[in-house]
């Protein structure tokens, strides 16, 4: 390959890299993401839905749904982005830190733009989170259900009924007793 062709190829690569790096954060991170804060992977996971979009001036805006806490469309704030790195937060009541406590997310968008993962920062420290892009900002949101807790009678009929409700699925039951 000639020196001229190599120079053109190098210039083209620099131009493409610069163009990719100059995508505004509102466009780069825009999307509807579903996933979990992974307190204990596979056994203590908090389901969340995050929607990020460009605001009127191109800045990031967004909301958070967390069904376990009856939280829907909670406004996100404090956005900072640097390349594929992102930071955002929300404020909520905390049993440990009181009213208006700050909860923070620090993460990175995968090269293909489909996964946002990083750390959720709260009073217990850094907890990993992983969100999968499931659509564009403004897409229909999936219904996230808060799983109910059932009071049981001494005979346990409610437990038996719940256990037998889905005989075609794998089920596991753990009974704890003080005896």
Is 129 part of any domain? yes
Looking at the structure of the chain, the number of domains it has is 1
According to DSSP, the residues that pair with 122 across neighbouring strands are 125
Is 65 part of any domain? yes
Is 1 part of any domain? no
Is 32 part of any domain? yes
Which pTM does this prediction carry? 0.71
Is 64 part of any domain? yes
Q: Which domain holds residue 123?
A: 25-135
- For 6, 10, 14, 79, 173, the CA distances from 1, given in Å and listed in that order, are 7, 12, 19, 46, 67
Q: What is the pLDDT of residues 71-130, one digit of tens each?
A: 999 999 999 999 999 999 999 988 888 888 899 999 999 999 999 999 999 877 899 999
**What is the DSSP code (8-state) at residue 142?**
P
More confident residue, 4 or 86: 86
43: CATH: 2.40.128
Is 152 part of any domain? no
Phi, psi of 48 (to 5 degrees): -140, 160
Contact 38, 128 (CB under 8 A): yes
Is 54 part of any domain? yes
């Amino acid at each position: 390959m000639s020196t001229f062709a190599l120079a053109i190829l190098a210039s083209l690569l620099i131009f493409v890299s610069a163009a990719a790096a100059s995508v505004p954060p509102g466009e780069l991170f825009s999307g509807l993401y579903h996933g979990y804060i992974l307190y204990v992977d596979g056994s203590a996971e908090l389901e969340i839905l995050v929607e990020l979009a460009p605001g009127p001036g191109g800045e990031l805006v967004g909301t958070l749904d967390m069904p376990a806490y009856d939280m829907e469309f909670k406004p996100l704030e404090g956005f900072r982005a640097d390349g594929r790195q992102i930071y955002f937060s929300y404020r909520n009541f905390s049993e440990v830190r009181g009213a208006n406590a700050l909860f923070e997310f620090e993460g990175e968008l995968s090269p293909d733009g489909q996964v946002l993962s990083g750390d959720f920062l709260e009073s217990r420290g850094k907890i990993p989170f992983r969100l999968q892009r499931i659509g564009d900002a403004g897409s229909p949101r999936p219904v996230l259900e808060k799983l109910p807790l059932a009071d049981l009678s001494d005979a346990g009929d409610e437990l038996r009924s719940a256990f037998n409700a889905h005989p075609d699925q794998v089920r596991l039951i753990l009974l704890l007793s003080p005896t």
